Amino acid sequence: MGPKTDGAAADGQAHGSEPEAGWTEPSPTAAHGTIPETAPSTAASRPAIPPPVTLTLSSPSPVLGIDADTDLRITVTGDFPRPLPFPNIVCSVGRIEDLVREGPAAFSARFVLPTARFPQVALIIADFSHGALILRGTLIARLRAATSPRARTDPGAKVTVKVGDKTFGPVTARRDGSVHVPVVVPPGINFALVRSVNHHGKASQELIDLKIPPSRRMLILAPEKLEAGGVKEVVVLAAEPNGQPVPPTSIVLTSSGPRPQPLGGRNPGEARFLVRAPPVLMDPTLHLVASLRGQPEVSEETDLILVPAPTAQISIERETPPTEPPPPRSLRLFLSSRDVFGNATDPADASTLIDGVPSRPLPTDDGRAVLVIRPPSRPSGGDSIAVEIAIENAYTVERIPLSLFQPKRPPDPFLATRYTVAPRLGLVWNTHQQPGATVLVEGLFSPRPGVEGLAFGLTTGYLNSRFSAGNAAGTGRVVLDQVPVLALTRYRRRLQRIGISTGIGLGLSVVQARIGVFDNELVSRSLAFAWEASIESSFLWHRSQAVMGLRYLSMRPGRLSSGDIIIGA
């Protein structure tokens, strides 16, 4: 009676995070693609120069289900800065624990084997790369698995199981014909040959499927973050089902962004790619997919976190201060920042100085940062607060006027203009004579807008006075009309709504005298030199002013056209 099997599978199931794996015969561990002694060796698969980083396991081919862990040793040779930093170690299955330093360029750790008991390949990468240094080592370890395929044959029959080129048994079948043969299955072996010989010497055999589940055969080593527009090296390590290194040309890497550029490989089974991030970040991550040519079912995926490039621009937006009193006690500045490509960066990382004193901005919900500015408790002698902000490659200075925190003056009631025209109505008083009337118009130009400082202009008007005079013909009544035209200089000061000014003017005056003696009236004219000195006060009100002043106007008509001379005008 020939053996009947139930497809004796390895104990346990594949872990969900482990992609497919291949298997081969029991063999020593392959470090950096070094071919085990039991496997065929080729010049193409063996590096001509020893690798600078060597990874070895104390148990070359651990058995899952028997071994729980094994020691991992990492040795670096070559001219590198010593002591080397601790490496970043990643593995496709299991985990690395208890990493310790054994020397300037030697490290050891414990490789905890996976709990899933089926033959598989373990891919391990130890990366020392930092800055401009690219230094890493790889290891492809073949993990065998212990299992007991079940078969049914003649009672008392001798049963053997051949796995690869190894034969396990014989084991005598029980009275009911059932038998379990302990075997060790290396990765890459999916079938076993069960052979039974009964007590009559009759032999039979059957090929059984070990039903090995898939596991990971690829591993991606990539940086956690990638700057916008930046480039980084990504390494993909892959093995064949029997644990042999995959040629680098068979490894393909695709990206959700720009196409990765192949760079070849430094170690067996390793392919390097130059990955570039898009300059404008539309997505938070860059999705990478590694696969093997002709084997689409073998793949590995990872996501690179995309971050903005260094900050190149800082924008500041002031809070709008209230227009109504009282003045604000503080002012908020909202900060936003962008890199050279226009991607938003984090302004909360800014280093800030407020009048030389360090301060820290607080993040807001909309991606900006806020900085609270308060006026100094003691006057600093300046008229503004200097706010200095620096983020990476960006720097800016914002000056906040102290006037924002001070009580505001009432609106200027007078229009701050360079030109003013002021009509004046007044009384003319001559010594020992009755007062007369005057109408003057004064036009001024100010070099600076406002109602203070020096102003220059002209004044003209009409003066009428009456007095008694006598000549050879007798005593009569004189009506004197004068029209002065003077160049004027005035200096003005202002105190709130009150203005005070002094002025001096020089010019000419047209004089007409009407002299009446008895029933006759004689009209005569003259052109006289005139000057004046004045002092005025004004009240500013609604873009206008009410002026009261006192001026001394001196005019000497001299001899009139009639030949008369007015003395004391």
Please indicate, yes or no, if residue 397 is contained in any of the structural domains. yes
Residue 551 has pLDDT above 60, yes or no: yes
Q: Model confidence at 226, in pLDDT bands (50, 70, 90)?
A: very high
Q: Model confidence at 417, in pLDDT bands (50, 70, 90)?
A: confident
Q: What is the average per-residue pLDDT within 349-361?
A: 92
Residue 34 has pLDDT above 50, yes or no: no
Output the pLDDT for position 32. 40
Same domain assignment for residues 316 and 297:
no
User: Pick the residue with more confidence: 111 or 420?
Assistant: 111
Q: What is the average per-residue pLDDT within 541-550?
A: 74
| Least confident stretch, 42-46, 86-90, 151-155, 547-551 | 42-46
Cβ atoms 109, 102 nearer than 8 A: no
Distance between CA atoms of 1 and 160, rounded to whole angstroms?
15
Cβ atoms 528, 463 nearer than 8 A: no
CB atoms within 10 A of CB 42: 8
The single-letter DSSP state of residue 203 is E
Q: Model confidence at 196, in pLDDT bands (50, 70, 90)?
A: very high
Distance between CA atoms of 418 and 70, rounded to whole angstroms?
94
User: Pick the residue with more confidence: 248 or 559?
Assistant: 248
Same domain assignment for residues 461 and 491:
yes
Same domain assignment for residues 344 and 377:
yes
Q: What is the average per-residue pLDDT within 284-305?
A: 93
Cβ atoms 200, 279 nearer than 8 A: no
Residue 536 has pLDDT above 80, yes or no: yes
CATH number at residue 529: 2.40.160
Residue 21 has pLDDT above 60, yes or no: no
Please indicate, yes or no, if residue 506 is contained in any of the structural domains. yes
Same domain assignment for residues 433 and 320:
no
Percent of the chain at pLDDT > 90 equals: 47
Residue 450 has pLDDT above 60, yes or no: yes
Same domain assignment for residues 473 and 435:
yes
Selection from 422, 551, 435, 532 nearest residue 485 by Cα: 532
Q: What is the average per-residue pLDDT within 92-98?
A: 95
Distance between CA atoms of 351 and 294, rounded to whole angstroms?
53
Cβ atoms 321, 358 nearer than 8 A: no
3-state secondary structure of 38: coil
Please indicate, yes or no, if residue 489 is contained in any of the structural domains. yes
For residue 325, report the phi and psi dihedrals to the nearest 5 degrees.
Answer: -65, 160
Helix (H) or strand (E) holding 166: strand 166-172
Q: What is the average per-residue pLDDT within 420-435?
A: 74
CB atoms within 10 A of CB 390: 15
| Least confident stretch, 130-144, 179-193, 432-446 | 432-446
Please indicate, yes or no, if residue 137 is contained in any of the structural domains. no
Domain finish residue from 405, 440, 456: 405
Give me the number of domains the chain comprises. 3
Cβ neighbors of 143 (< 8 A, separation 6 or more) are 61, 62, 63, 64, 93, 113, 114, 119, 120, 121, 122, 187
Output the pLDDT for position 277. 96
Cβ atoms 459, 442 nearer than 8 A: yes
3-state secondary structure of 194: strand
Residue 405 has pLDDT above 90, yes or no: no
Residue 550 has pLDDT above 50, yes or no: yes
The whole-chain average pLDDT of the chain stands at 83
How many Å separate Cα 552 from the centre of its chain? 72
Range(s) of the domain holding residue 359: 311-405
Same domain assignment for residues 283 and 316:
no
Same domain assignment for residues 276 and 354:
no
User: What is the identity of the amino acid at 204?
Assistant: S
Same domain assignment for residues 303 and 324:
no
How many Å separate Cα 375 from the centre of its chain? 29
pLDDT one-digit tens code per residue, 228-261: 999 999 999 999 989 999 999 999 999 999 999 9
| Least confident stretch, 27-36, 128-137, 556-565 | 27-36
User: Pick the residue with more confidence: 380 or 348?
Assistant: 348
Domain finish residue from 307, 328, 345: 307
Same domain assignment for residues 363 and 479:
no
In order of 325, 345, 510, the CA distances from 318 in angstroms are 19, 19, 62
Q: What is the average per-residue pLDDT within 425-430?
A: 75
Same domain assignment for residues 393 and 441:
no
If you write DSSP's letter for every residue of 472-493 in order, what string do you get?
TTEEEEEEEEEEEEEEEEEEEE
3-state secondary structure of 157: coil
Same domain assignment for residues 303 and 328:
no
pTM over 0.75: no
Same domain assignment for residues 235 and 341:
no
Q: What is the average per-residue pLDDT within 531-558?
A: 79
Q: Which residues pair with 186 in a beta bridge?
A: none
Please indicate, yes or no, if residue 51 is contained in any of the structural domains. no
| Least confident stretch, 273-287, 330-344, 508-522 | 508-522
CATH number at residue 229: 2.60.40.10
Q: What is the average per-residue pLDDT within 10-39?
A: 33
Please indicate, yes or no, if residue 453 is contained in any of the structural domains. yes
Residue 569 has pLDDT above 50, yes or no: no
CATH number at residue 364: 2.60.40
User: Pick the residue with more confidence: 8 or 461?
Assistant: 461
Output the pLDDT for position 506. 92
User: Pick the residue with more confidence: 48 or 516?
Assistant: 516
Cβ atoms 5, 115 nearer than 8 A: no
| Least confident stretch, 236-250, 305-319, 551-565 | 551-565
Pairing relation of β-strands 498-517 and 394-401? unpaired
Output the pLDDT for position 41. 38
pLDDT one-digit tens code per residue, 103-126: 999 999 999 999 989 999 999 999
pLDDT one-digit tens code per residue, 264-285: 888 889 999 999 999 999 999 9
Domain finish residue from 405, 440, 472: 405
Q: What is the average per-residue pLDDT within 402-412?
A: 73
Residue 75 C-beta-side C-alpha neighbours within 13 Å: 8
Most confident of 247-261, 376-390, 475-489: 247-261
Residue 402 has pLDDT above 80, yes or no: yes
Residue 434 has pLDDT above 70, yes or no: no
Please indicate, yes or no, if residue 38 is contained in any of the structural domains. no
Please indicate, yes or no, if residue 378 is contained in any of the structural domains. yes
